[in-house]
Amino acid sequence: MEQDFNRYLGDGVYADFDGYQIALKTGSHINPDNTIFLDDHVQLALLDYIEHVRAFLKKGEAYDDP
């Protein structure tokens, strides 16, 4: 049975996985306006960025770009 990785994230953004990379699609997952493909290196960079933002929000301090 084939796994369906298509998921609505919110705000008109959908995510899908083709076995190699994550695709972010806007507007519609069937006929998207835009598609961005994230390979493993970009996925890790995005996760690192999310953790950076979470740490900033947790501290409640002024933003300082690393």
Residue-level pLDDT at 30: 86
Residue-level pLDDT at 60: 81
Residue-level pLDDT at 62: 61
Contact 20, 26 (CB under 8 A): no
The whole-angstrom separation of Cα 5 and Cα 50 is 21
With vertex at residue 42, the alpha carbon angle to CA 1 and CA 30, rounded to the nearest 5 degrees, is 45
Query: Which pTM does this prediction carry?
Result: 0.75
Residue-level pLDDT at 65: 60
The whole-angstrom separation of Cα 49 and Cα 36 is 17
Contact 13, 22 (CB under 8 A): no
The whole-angstrom separation of Cα 17 and Cα 24 is 9
Q: Which residues of the chain have pLDDT under 50?
A: none
